[in-house]
Every structure is written in structure tokens, then in C-alpha cells.
Amino acid sequence: MKARIWGARGSLPVALNHKHIRAKLVSALEGAIGRGLDTSAKVASYVDNELGFDVRGTYGGNSSCVEVEAWDPAATTDHIILDLGSGARPLAGAKLARYGPAKPQTYHVFMSHLHWDHIMGFPFFTPAYIPGNRIIIYGCHAQLEAAFRRQQDPISFPVGFDQLAATIEFVRMEPGVPVMVKDVRVTAKRQLHHGDSYGYRLQRGGQAMVYSTDSEHKLEDAAGRGAFVEFFRDADLVIFDAMYSLAECVSAKADWGHSSGAVGVELCRLAGVRTLCLFHHEPIYDDARISGVLAETRRYAAATGETPLEVVSAYDGMVIEL
């Protein structure tokens, strides 16, 4: 399986502005002084090998959307998607570019919860407008269908839900009761977040990944911690809400429904996880700040245990192979 990140931000989409671009250019040019970058090959090597990701690239600005590639894209018409934040728009573009409108596809969408940053991409998910496509939206909330219909009411959007040409279905899940998407087993777990959210564990063959965003973890809750350790147990990848620092989680932003990289490290290490992916980035953080969070989390992981744990930070366009 592969996890492909289409949107990694939390709360709302963001974009680079002219100040951010200027800061990147200044940093790159200052680093180039005295390097004799007089050929295209030298310039390319400098950019690719000497500049940090926060300077040469960007973590992106789309809100939560992750694709799970469980099967050969050339041999299947089924696709798995986790959440439909604004990252669903470029995901849709990529699918149309690959398959075109004449080859119907089936999209299995698992919703963590119904807050706007996680559903806002659906009105721009172009497969929903194409006859023959099938979109199956899974979730544990009773208001699952109502939330999708409401955001396309005429007061909010010019195209009503009933005008969509694809076949759209809603499937109510129960936490702890798995559903099968072909040979992928998907199990939901309730998480601490306002209005509830649900994490998903996806297993196929000997591989497992967990998508756990918009979840707060109380340090004093030993039973809750143990339940998440079992949910994460031996996963190849955990995509984890790391919106705040540990200090923020236990002070100013307690009860805001989000977590930190340090908590992710603790849970993943206890569970024997191979890779922790920091996700749902704070929208006010620029690329340098997100890189700083990644560096701090890696230092924490290195200082607190001997068990190997790879720590990465999600960015739009990132692909993680299990």
C-alpha cells in the first residue's frame, strides 16, 4: 500500500504569500554566495542537496485529504480516500487526467468527522459530476449525509447536491466493526474531539496503516492511551494529528481536540509502529516553523527510546510506501 497526501493542513487551507516567497529566495541566494554556481547542473545540485525542504519546497496549504493506493492503479477502478478537505480538488484532477470521464470509477471515502475543513473539497470533487462514477462515503456520524447536503444548499454553493450526476451513497459505520473494501479491512475508532472524530486502521495482507487526525490525547488517561496503542499496534505507518506542541496541548490549547508530535512518538513507540507522519499542520505555521516541529519531534524520538521510529512530516504531494 501507499499513502498519498493531497492535503496536510488543519482547520482551513492556506497559501504562500509574497513575503514567504521572498524569504525563501533571500535564504537560497544568501546560501549560494561563494559557491560558484555557474552551470545549471551546479544550481540543480545546490537546490536539491544543500537547501532545506522548507526553502526549496513547501508543505502546501490544502486541508486534510489522503489517498490510500492499495491496488495497481492500472488494474483497478476502486480508490480509497480519507477525508475530503480542499486537497480533494487536486486529487480529482489527477484522477480525471489518468482515467478521463468515460471510464467510470468507484471512490470509497472514509470521513474522520464532519467539520468544514474535512468536507469542503467535495463540491469541487469533479468525479461527483460525471455520470457512471460511484462515490461511497463511509462514516460513524449520524449526520453524515446531512453535512454533505447542507454545504451545497443554494445559500452556500451554486450547484445543489441533487444535481450531482454520480451515484452517491452513504454508509454508516460502527466503531470497532470493520468493513471490507475488496481485500482491505477498514476499522474505525472513536477519538476525543469536539463532535467526535474517528480514526481508521486499514489492513491488507501483512501491511497496516492508521489515519488518526483531529484527536486529543489526555496524558492522565491511561486506559485511553492503552486503547490507542492497541489501535496503532505494529502499523507500518501512522498519520497523526500533530497540530500543537506538547506544552500547548496541556495548557493554552487543552480541550481543543488536537495533539502533538511528542504524544505521537510515545504512542507509536509503545505500539511498535515503523513510521510516524506528522499531519494536520497549524495554519499559521509557515514552512520553516513546520520544519522546526519536525526537527523537535525527531530529537524527542531520538532522546526518549532505543526502538527505531522514522518520523516524517506530511506535505501536499508526498507519497509514503508501506
pLDDT digits (tens, 9 = 90+) for 11-31: 999 999 999 999 999 999 999
DSSP 78-96: EEEEE--STTHHHHHHHHH
Residues 237 and 179 both lie in one domain? yes
In the predicted model, what is the mean pLDDT of residues 48-70?
A: 97
Task: Report the alpha-carbon angle 171-176-180, nearest 5.
Answer: 50
Q: Report which residue type is found at 7.
A: G
Residues 215 and 307 both lie in one domain? yes
CATH number assigned to the domain comprising residue 142: 3.60.15.10
Residues 239 and 309 both lie in one domain? yes
* pLDDT higher than 60, residue 240: yes
Range in 71-75, 149-153, 229-233 the model is least confident about: 71-75
Cell of 281: 499542520
In the predicted model, what is the mean pLDDT of residues 254-274?
A: 84
How crowded is residue 313: how many other Cβ atoms within 10 Å of its Cβ?
24
Question: Strand pairing of 179-181 and 167-172?
Answer: unpaired
Residues 29 and 131 both lie in one domain? no
* pLDDT higher than 80, residue 164: yes
Residues 67 and 30 both lie in one domain? no
- What was the pLDDT predicted at 307? 76
Residues 46 and 89 both lie in one domain? no
CA 171/CA 181 separation, integer angstroms: 12
Residues 265 and 204 both lie in one domain? yes
- What was the pLDDT predicted at 222? 86
- What was the pLDDT predicted at 15? 95
Residues 184 and 243 both lie in one domain? yes
Residues 161 and 265 both lie in one domain? yes
218 burial type by CB count under 10 A (0-12 exposed, 13-18 middle, 19+ buried) = middle
In the chain, % helix, strand, coil (3-state, to 5) comes to 35, 25, 40
- What was the pLDDT predicted at 219? 75
DSSP 204-223: ETTEEEEEE-S-B--TT-HH
Range in 144-158, 165-179, 217-231, 284-298 the model is least confident about: 217-231
Residues 170 and 207 both lie in one domain? yes
Residues 186-226 have pLDDT tens digits of: 999 999 888 999 999 999 999 999 999 999 888 788 888 89
Residues 147 and 28 both lie in one domain? no
Question: 268-294 in b/e burial notation, b at 16+ Cβ within 10 A?
Answer: bbbbebbbbbbbbbbeebbbeebbebb
Mean of the per-residue pLDDT values of the chain: 93
In the predicted model, what is the mean pLDDT of residues 61-70?
A: 97
- What was the pLDDT predicted at 224? 87
* pLDDT higher than 60, residue 246: no
Number of domains, the chain: 2
Confidence of residue 175 (pLDDT cuts 50, 70, 90): very high
* pLDDT higher than 70, residue 262: yes
The domain in which residue 138 lies consists of 2-14+58-321
Cβ-proximal residues to 2 (8 Å cutoff; 6+ apart), any chain: 68, 69, 319, 320, 321, 322
Percentage of the chain lying above the pLDDT 90 cut: 87
In angstroms, the Cα distances linking 281 to 227, 240, 242, 275, 292 are 25, 10, 7, 17, 12
In angstroms, the Cα distances linking 265 to 72, 192, 208 are 31, 18, 18
* pLDDT higher than 70, residue 254: no
- What was the pLDDT predicted at 243? 83
Residues 52 and 63 both lie in one domain? no
Percentage of the chain lying above the pLDDT 70 cut: 96
Residues 88-113 have pLDDT tens digits of: 999 999 999 999 999 999 999 999 99
